[in-house]
Amino acid sequence: MTVNALAFYAAAVLIVLAAAAAVGLPSLRLASYAGAATVVLLAILDVVSHAYMLAAIEIVVPGLALGIVVLVLRREQYRDLGASTDAGSRWWLGGPVALAAGLVLVVTLAIVGPSWYSDIVVSIAKAVTPAALITVLHYDAPYALVIAVVLIAVTVAAGLVIGRRSGDEQTLDQHLQARREREERARRRRDDRQAGRRRPAQEDS
């Protein structure tokens, strides 16, 4: 199937720029916007490649996870977690490693060209009866669907176990809250007393 070259290169350039922004921007908020843009651009690349169902999955699955992340980060106790000014302080480590890995991969793939996977795989893939993705997952590869469902269930369970607050943390939070309320009451009493002392002095004058 033919892929529109112009659309491919436009999507490719935007993907690289968005990915670079996602890892390079110091503000975590802007970086996360760039990350979300990368996901959307990958879905657009899927559309360009005529993989429409995959594009929908590419948007829906990470989109759901991203929504949960945003909801959690809006909580009071995690508000400061999003503040970051670190723009890659270990560039001296990440730069050479990424450059070396990228060079090895790009040079190898450029030399190998279109045959980066075996023709046997292509012939097997083409021999499979063409069908819609949802049909394949339901009838031809149900194990893949089952594994995916189990993976999601395990992730939700593990996320809840890791992310939940322990009893000690809840008690500590309650103590901190009570302390904040006590301090607030004490401050108000102090302000009232000072205001009370100032009032008779003003009346006398």
Partner 1 sequence: MNIGNGQYAVLSAVVFAIGLYGVFARRHPLAVVMALGLLFAAPLIALAGFISATAVNQRAPLGGALATMAIIAATCLCSIGFALVLLLWRRSGRADVDALGDIEE
- Give the footprint of partner 1 on residues 134-153 (CB under 8 A): 135-137, 140-141, 144, 147-148, 151-152
In Å, how far are 17, 58, 84, 101, 187 from 98, measured between CA atoms?
Answer: 16, 25, 22, 5, 54
Per CB under 8 A, contacts with partner 1 among 30-49 are 31-32, 35, 38-39, 42, 45-46, 49
81 binds partner 1 (CB under 8 A): yes
| 120 interacts with partner 1 by CB under 8 A | no
In this complex, which beta carbon is closest to partner 1, that of residue 99 or of residue 186?
99
32 exposure class (CB count in 10 Å sphere: 0-12, 13-18, 19+): middle
Q: Which is nearer to partner 1, 101 or 178 (CB)?
A: 101
How many residues of this chain interact with partner 1, rule: CB under 8 A? 93
CA distance 49 to 3: 6
Looking at residues 148 to 187 of the shown chain, list those that interact with partner 1 (rule: CB under 8 A). 148, 151-152, 154-155, 158-159, 162-163, 165, 169
Q: How far are the Cα atoms of 18, 33, 113, 149, 191 from residue 21, in angstroms, in the given order?
A: 5, 9, 28, 32, 49
The single residue among 71, 76, 120, 129 that binds partner 1, judged by CB under 8 A, is 129
